[in-house]
């Protein structure tokens, strides 16, 4: 349940800061030269392209596509069965001409021959030319054929009959050949009438014998054949709609979009000019438009959202200290917010004042310095990634994206979490000088049209302002977010700290004891990868509460009797217990961070005050052990575990080896005794520490205590030399 609450709290932080980044970026720093205008309206001013861009002229592209589609001819298939029908029709017309030469006439029998068995006779009568023409014209096949052309056919037919020639057959074959050529090309509903008209108005040339042309003029023959063919032509094509549509789609997809290119400083639209759709889209892309058409604000939402979600899962995945410390987590999110303000702000002002080189003056190294000193390298890398993405969301200027990414991480080259103020002051100079180098590299790569002096001066000033601001504000940021970094711990553990001066003045024995505990704990912390500066600071202040009653603690009883000899064990226990809450109160008074005064609360845990417990047990065997426990809490970190053992061992060694010499075996026995007691009493149940760590701590304490309590050489008594 506790984990779910923690996850939920961090998710709320993510949503809150993500919304703040978006709101501040586009309310404090909105798009520059924002206008409200529609297509077809006159431009209120002349707009120049701030960068190169390509805009698709969709309207012209659609026109080109439509023209290309309309140019695709319909796709037809030819029905060859219908071709034969046309040819048969031509054949029937020529047969009709031949059949019109004669006529069958029924002749009745003579009167004399009339009888029951008399049969009428049929006589074939040759018709003259006029009769043939009339008979052919009355036929349905020739209903639309002119009389002049029928006459041509009749003349040829009669000539063949009289001269045993075959000119009519030749004419038939030529007509059918020409008809077949036309049919093979194809005839559809749309061009049937046009084909007939063209055929009649422009009769085809005939490949016939010259003798026939001598008999009948060529023009009359051509006209007759043309009419015969036209009369029989029918539609023989079928529209293949699917193939046609497929061809049109293919042609449409092959049409290239019409692209309008605007280079930097090109005029997009002049003042008073009516805005067309292409210019409108270009203005929208450049961020000059307002209202629903503006796209940058909307486009920034998924980028900003992705940045914060990425941070959430990265910190959860790596279980970084920032994930477990809400204050560090909030500082990281705050630095992202500051980063977005810097990047969006510099983009806004550089466009507002038409000084595009100002982007190289972005003071983003402020974020990198604070992160490197107060957080860690992983946080700085996350900030670098975030800065580049936020620069992209804020306008997409490539130079600003690169500056945000690189300058955020540069301070980590020179700084680390354990740096002190003096070293930080020196490194600030190096970080400041690196910004012009980075700026020139980006400028050279992008080949922008700025002067070298503009780039160097602006980047140097921007870096100096950002880094000096970080140096000046870093202590206030640390206090505001209640962080305890190595940067601050080095100041807290300074012997000139008011709290340590107070401890030295009020309880010199406790002060000396704290220094020794700090030495023991520092070395042990280094061996297991714990924070040595934190454990040293804890050690220096862990007994600060003893300054309220210093003589009640044995290390401050110089040559005097023990006051506890005249007190009941209950009173003694209350006095000893009080040094923990008294220490916390004094720590807050001296503005010592919570991370440090956790050492006051946890250095005893809730262990038993063994001396007073055993003393009371001699008089009262039924005494309860819990009545003699300290008021503290069990150690919750590796640092407080080390502090507990260091404190107990220093006190035990001082008491035991005050009257006897120490050797490595005695020290080892005492170390094991103290460790076993604390472990068996359950003091390490809440601590994230392993048996391997405990073994390393034991070895460290063994070596340190052997050096502290080494056997000394007994010197002979000094005597005064007799004067010679």
End-to-end distance of the chain based on CA atoms, in angstroms?
89
264, 397 Cβ separation under 8 angstroms:
no
The reported pLDDT for the residue numbered 3 is 64
In this predicted structure, the answer to whether residue 711 has a pLDDT above a threshold of 70 is: no
Residue 699's pLDDT band, with cuts at 50, 70 and 90, is very high
The reported pLDDT for the residue numbered 314 is 77
DSSP per residue, 293-328: G--HHHHHHHHHHHHHHHHHHHHHHHT-HHHH-HHH
User: 171 is written with which tokens?
Assistant: 């004419």
How far does Cα 693 stand from its chain's mean position? Answer: 42
Q: What percent of the chain has pLDDT over 70?
A: 89
DSSP per residue, 587-656: HHHTT--HHHHHHHHHSSTT-B-HHHHHHHHHH-TT--GGGGB-SS----SHHHHHHHHHHHHHHHHHHH
What does pTM read for this prediction? Answer: 0.55
What pLDDT, in 10s, does the model give residues 196-233? 899 889 999 888 888 888 888 888 888 988 889 888 98
User: 424 is written with which tokens?
Assistant: 């930080």
The reported pLDDT for the residue numbered 109 is 57
Separation of alpha carbons 452 and 440, rounded Å? 8
- Residue bearing the bigger pLDDT, 2 or 18: 18
The reported pLDDT for the residue numbered 38 is 79
Phi, psi at residue 709, to the nearest 5°? -115, 35
Which residues are registered as beta bridge partners of 121?
A: 107
Separation of alpha carbons 318 and 12, rounded Å? 20
The reported pLDDT for the residue numbered 498 is 92
Which of 154-163, 238-247, 411-420 is predicted least confidently? 411-420
In this predicted structure, the answer to whether residue 365 has a pLDDT above a threshold of 50 is: yes
The reported pLDDT for the residue numbered 118 is 57
Q: Which residues contact 341 (CB under 8 A, 6 or more apart)?
A: 24, 25, 28
Separation of alpha carbons 342 and 383, rounded Å? 13
DSSP code at position 494: S
- Residue bearing the bigger pLDDT, 617 or 538: 538
In this predicted structure, the answer to whether residue 89 has a pLDDT above a threshold of 50 is: yes
Average pLDDT over residues 639-659: 88
What pLDDT, in 10s, does the model give residues 262-284? 888 888 888 888 888 888 888 87
Which of 84-93, 115-124, 147-156 is predicted least confidently? 115-124
Which residues are registered as beta bridge partners of 48?
A: 267
Average pLDDT over residues 518-541: 90
In this predicted structure, the answer to whether residue 522 has a pLDDT above a threshold of 70 is: yes
In this predicted structure, the answer to whether residue 396 has a pLDDT above a threshold of 70 is: no
The reported pLDDT for the residue numbered 291 is 46
- State the helix-helix crossing angle for 508-528 and 498-506, rounded to 10 degrees: 130
In this predicted structure, the answer to whether residue 389 has a pLDDT above a threshold of 90 is: no
Based on its alpha-carbon atoms, the radius of gyration of the chain, rounded to whole angstroms, reads: 55
Cβ density class 251-284: b for 16+ within 10 Å, e for less: beeebeebebebeeeeebbeeeeebeebbbbbbb
Instruction: Map out the domains of the chain with their CATH numbers.
Output: 2-29+295-483 (1.10.1760.20), 76-108+121-236 (no CATH), 495-708 (1.10.3210)
Which residues are registered as beta bridge partners of 339?
A: none
In this predicted structure, the answer to whether residue 119 has a pLDDT above a threshold of 70 is: no
Residue 584's pLDDT band, with cuts at 50, 70 and 90, is very high
**Which span out of 62-66, 75-79, 390-394, 626-630 was modeled with the highest average pLDDT?**
62-66
CA distances from 160 to 148, 154, 166, 212, 488 (A): 19, 10, 6, 11, 129
In this predicted structure, the answer to whether residue 646 has a pLDDT above a threshold of 90 is: yes
Which of 269-278, 368-377, 484-493, 634-643 is predicted least confidently? 484-493
CA distances from 177 to 86, 170, 181, 196, 205 (A): 11, 11, 6, 16, 12
What pLDDT, in 10s, does the model give residues 310-321? 777 777 777 666
Query: Sign of torsion, CA 308 313 316 318?
Result: negative
User: Degrees (nearest 5) of the Cα angle 74, 75, 78?
Assistant: 125
Cβ density class 660-681: b for 16+ within 10 Å, e for less: eebeeebbbebbeebbeebeeb
Number of Cβ within a 10 Å radius of residue 199: 20
User: 122 is written with which tokens?
Assistant: 């049929």
What pLDDT, in 10s, does the model give residues 464-517? 999 899 888 888 888 888 887 777 787 888 888 999 999 989 999 889 999 999
Q: Which residues contact 463 (CB under 8 A, 6 or more apart)?
A: 363, 365, 407, 431, 432, 433, 434, 435, 436
Residue 293's pLDDT band, with cuts at 50, 70 and 90, is very low
- Residue bearing the bigger pLDDT, 392 or 465: 465
User: 92 is written with which tokens?
Assistant: 């029937």
Which of 240-244, 391-395, 650-654 is predicted least confidently? 391-395
Phi, psi at residue 417, to the nearest 5°? -65, -25
What pLDDT, in 10s, does the model give residues 661-694? 778 888 899 899 999 988 998 999 988 899 999 9
In this predicted structure, the answer to whether residue 717 has a pLDDT above a threshold of 80 is: no
User: 189 is written with which tokens?
Assistant: 């509903």
Which of 14-28, 40-54, 170-184 is predicted least confidently? 14-28
Average pLDDT over residues 592-601: 90
Alpha helices in 320-451 (DSSP H): 321-324, 326-352, 365-374, 377-393, 398-409, 411-414, 421-446
Which of 6-20, 126-140, 295-309, 528-542 is predicted least confidently? 295-309
- State the helix-helix crossing angle for 2-27 and 296-318, rounded to 10 degrees: 150
What pLDDT, in 10s, does the model give residues 472-481? 888 888 888 8
The reported pLDDT for the residue numbered 591 is 87
What pLDDT, in 10s, does the model give residues 343-354? 877 777 776 666
Mean pLDDT of the chain: 82
The reported pLDDT for the residue numbered 560 is 66
């Amino acid at each position: 349940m506790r984990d779910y609450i923690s996850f939920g709290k961090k998710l709320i932080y993510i949503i809150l800061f993500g919304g703040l980044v978006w709101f501040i970026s586009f309310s404090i720093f909105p798009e520059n030269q924002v206008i409200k205008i529609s297509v077809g309206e006159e431009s209120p001013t002349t707009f120049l392209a701030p960068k190169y861009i390509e805009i698709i002229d969709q309207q012209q592209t659609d026109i080109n596509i439509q023209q290309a589609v309309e140019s695709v001819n319909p796709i037809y298939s030819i029905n060859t069965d219908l071709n034969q029908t046309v040819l048969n029709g031509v054949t029937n017309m020529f047969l009709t001409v031949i059949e019109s030469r004669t006529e069958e006439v029924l002749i009745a029998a003579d009167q004399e021959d009339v009888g029951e068995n008399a049969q009428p006779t049929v006589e074939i009568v040759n018709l003259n030319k006029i009769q043939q023409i009339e008979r052919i014209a009355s036929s349905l096949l020739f209903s639309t054929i002119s009389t002049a052309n029928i006459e041509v056919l009749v003349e040829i037919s009669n000539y063949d009959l009289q001269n045993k020639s075959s000119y009519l057959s030749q004419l038939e074959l030529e007509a059918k050949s020409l008809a077949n050529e036309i049919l093979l090309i194809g005839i559809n509903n749309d061009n049937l009438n046009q084909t007939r008209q063209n055929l009649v108005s422009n009769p085809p040339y005939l490949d016939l014998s010259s003798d026939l042309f001598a008999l009948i003029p060529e023009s009359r023959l051509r006209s007759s054949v043309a009419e015969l063919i036209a009369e029989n032509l029918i539609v023989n094509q079928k529209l293949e709609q699917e193939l046609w549509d497929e061809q049109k789609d293919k042609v449409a997809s092959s049409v290239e979009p019409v692209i309008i290119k605007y280079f930097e400083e090109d005029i997009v639209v002049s003042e008073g000019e009516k805005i067309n759709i292409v210019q409108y889209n270009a203005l929208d892309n450049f961020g000059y438009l307002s209202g629903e058409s503006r796209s940058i604000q909307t486009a920034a939402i998924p980028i900003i959202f992705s940045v914060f979600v990425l941070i959430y899962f990265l910190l959860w995945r790596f279980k970084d200290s920032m994930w477990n410390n809400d204050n560090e987590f909030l500082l990281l999110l705050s630095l992202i917010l500051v980063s977005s303000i810097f990047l969006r702000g510099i983009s806004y002002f550089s466009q507002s004042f038409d000084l595009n080189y100002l982007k190289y003056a972005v003071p983003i190294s402020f974020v990198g310095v604070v992160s490197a000193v107060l957080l860690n390298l992983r946080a700085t890398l996350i900030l670098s990634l975030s800065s580049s993405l936020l620069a992209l969301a804020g306008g997409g200027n490539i130079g600003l994206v690169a500056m945000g990414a690189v300058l955020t991480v540069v301070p980590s080259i020179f700084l680390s979490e354990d740096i002190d103020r003096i070293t930080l002051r020196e490194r600030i100079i190096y970080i400041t000088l690196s910004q012009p180098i980075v700026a020139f590299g980006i400028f050279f790569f992008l080949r922008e049209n700025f002067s070298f002096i503009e780039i160097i001066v602006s980047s140097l000033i921007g870096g100096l302002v950002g880094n000096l601001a970080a140096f000046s504000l870093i202590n206030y940021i640390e206090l505001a977010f209640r962080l305890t970094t190595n940067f601050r711990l080095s100041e807290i553990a300074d012997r000139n700290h008011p709290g340590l001066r107070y401890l030295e003045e009020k309880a010199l024995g406790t002060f000396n004891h704290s220094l020794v505990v700090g030495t023991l704990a520092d070395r042990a912390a280094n061996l297991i990868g714990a924070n040595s500066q934190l454990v040293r600071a804890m050690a220096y202040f862990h007994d600060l509460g003893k300054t309220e009653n210093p003589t009640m603690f044995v290390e401050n009883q110089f040559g005097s009797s023990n006051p506890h000899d005249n007190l009941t064990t209950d009173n003694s226990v209350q006095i000893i217990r009080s040094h923990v809450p008294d220490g916390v109160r004094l720590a807050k008074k001296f503005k010592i961070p919570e991370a440090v005064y956790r050492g006051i609360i946890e250095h005893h845990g809730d262990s038993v005050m063994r001396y007073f417990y055993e003393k009371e047990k001699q008089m009262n065997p039924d005494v309860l052990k819990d009545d003699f426990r300290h008021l503290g809490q069990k150690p919750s970190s590796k640092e407080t575990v080390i502090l507990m053992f260091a404190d107990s061992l220093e006190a035990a060694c001082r008491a035991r080896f005050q009257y006897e010499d120490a050797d490595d075996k005695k020290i080892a026995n005492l170390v094991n005794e103290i460790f076993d007691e604390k472990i068996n009493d359950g003091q390490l149940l809440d601590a994230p520490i392993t048996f391997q760590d405990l073994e390393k701590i034991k070895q460290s304490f063994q070596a340190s205590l052997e050096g502290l309590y080494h056997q000394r050489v007994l010197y002979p008594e000094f005597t005064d030399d007799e004067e010679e």
